[in-house]
Homo-oligomer: A and B are copies of this chain.
Amino acid sequence: MDVIEQGVGDIFTDPDADKARAFFRGKSRKMENKVMSVKDAVAKFIHDGDYITIGGFGANRVPVAVCHEILRQGRKKLGFAGHTSTHDFQILCAGEVFDRCDIAYIIGLEARGLSPNARRYMETGKVKVSEWSNYALSVRFKAAAAGVSFYPARNLMGTDTFKYSAGRIIECPFTKTKYVALPALYPDVSAIHVHEADMYGNCRVRGITVSDFDVARASKRLIITCEKLISNEEIRRDPSYTVIPYWCVDAVCEVPYGSYPGNMLGEYFSDEEHLKEWLKVESDPAEFKAFLEKNIYGCKDHFEYILKNGGMAKMQMLRQKEMMFIGAR
C-alpha cells in the first residue's frame, strides 16, 4: 500500500492487531470479584513505563483518585494519551510522570485558563510528543476497539498537526480519495470513572460517553472507579444500560465523589474555587509544593482529600449546584 505522505511523530504503542489479540487471548473472561482499593489497583496494574489513558473529558467524569495515587506511588516514564486532558493532566504533570505523550488537548483547563506547571513541564523537552486532534485519538481508540491496526479519517491533512503526528496518508481503494490512516492505540492500562459498576466490572454511565466505550475496549488493563457499587442483579435487570462489559475490567474501586473536584453528571458540579486555587498556587513553586503535600502526598485516599476541602458540606453544595438549585438562574 502506497504511503503518499507521513508524519514525523512517533507511535508510542504497537498498533499490531495480532499482538493485541495474543494479549487479549490470555485475559480472564471469568466473572470474579474485582473490588479493591485504588491503592491496590494502581500498585497491581500500573507500572513504570506503561502507556496510560484517563477516561472522561478533562474535569468531567474523571478518575481523580487514580491520578492522585499514581503520584503517591511515584510512577515514572509513563506514556499518555492527552485527549482533552485537563485537570487529570494537571495532576499527572505535578508528579512529572511522563516521558512521552500523544497530544490532542493538554495543559489547558478550557475556560478556566492554562496550567503554568503543566506548560512549563511540556516546554522542558523532557516529554517526547506526537500531535493529533481529539477525534484523531478517538479514532485510534476506535480502531483498537475493533481489533484492527488502523482506521482512515478525513481530518489532520494539510496541517502541521499531521506533520507532527504519526499518521500516514493513503488513498481509498474505491474512490481514490485521500485519507489519513491513524494507527490503532492499545493502551497498556486505562482508568475510567463511571456512575455505577458491579463487582465484576459491568459499568453504567449517564450523559456523555466521550471516547470511553472505545478506550475501555482498546485497553489491555482497565481500572474502573465508580460512584457506587451495584449488584450484578441490578446490572441484569436491564442489560441495555451496560456500556462497559466486565471482561474489559481488571479492578473495580468504589470511590464516591470520585470525579471531585471535577463534574459528575447528575451527581455534583465541579468545585471551581478549588480548581482556581490549583491554577493559582502553581505559579509559586513553594506554595505549589505545600499544596500538593496537603492535597495529594499527605492524603491516604480520596476521602481524606475531600475532607481537607470542605468534606460533606462541600459535596452537598456541589450536588445542589449540579441540580441547578445554585447557579446562574
Contacts from A to B (Cβ < 8 Å): 1-3, 11, 15-18, 146-154, 168, 170-175, 177, 179, 181, 183, 205-207, 238-240
Contacts and interface: CB of A to CB of B under 8 A. Distances in A.
24 contacts: A1-B2, A1-B170, A3-B173, A15-B175, A16-B175, A16-B177, A17-B154, A17-B175, A17-B177, A146-B153, A148-B152, A148-B153, A148-B179, A150-B152, A150-B174, A151-B151, A168-B173, A172-B181, A174-B181, A174-B183, A205-B240, A206-B238, A206-B240, A207-B239
A157 B181 CA distance: 21
Contacts of A146: 153
A15 B174 contact: yes
Nearest to A172: B149
Given A16-B177, A17-B154, 15 more contacts: A1-B172, A2-B2, A3-B173, A11-B174, A15-B174, A18-B177, A149-B172, A149-B174, A149-B177, A150-B172, A150-B175, A151-B152, A168-B174, A170-B173, A172-B181
Contacts of A173: 1, 3, 150, 168, 170, 181
A147 B154 contact: yes
Contacts of A168: 173-174
Copies in the complex: 2
Nearest to A15: B174
Interface centre among A152, A174, A238, A240 (most CB of B within 10 A): A174
Nearest to A18: B177
A202 to B, nearest CB: 16
A182 to B, nearest CB: 9
Contacts of A206: 238, 240
> Residue among A3, A17, A149 with the most chain B CB within 10 A?
A149
A43 B207 CA distance: 37
Contacts of A170: 1, 173
Contacts of A239: 207
Nearest to A209: B240
A3 B172 CA distance: 10
Contacts of A153: 146, 148
A154 B148 contact: yes
Nearest to A195: B240
A179 to B, nearest CB: 7
Contacts of A11: 174
A168 B173 CA distance: 7
A149 B151 CA distance: 11
A183 B147 CA distance: 18
A207 B236 CA distance: 12
A148 B3 CA distance: 18
* The 7 nearest A-B residue pairs measured at CB: A1-B171, A168-B173, A149-B175, A149-B172, A173-B181, A174-B183, A16-B175
A142 B34 CA distance: 33
A113 to B, nearest CB: 29
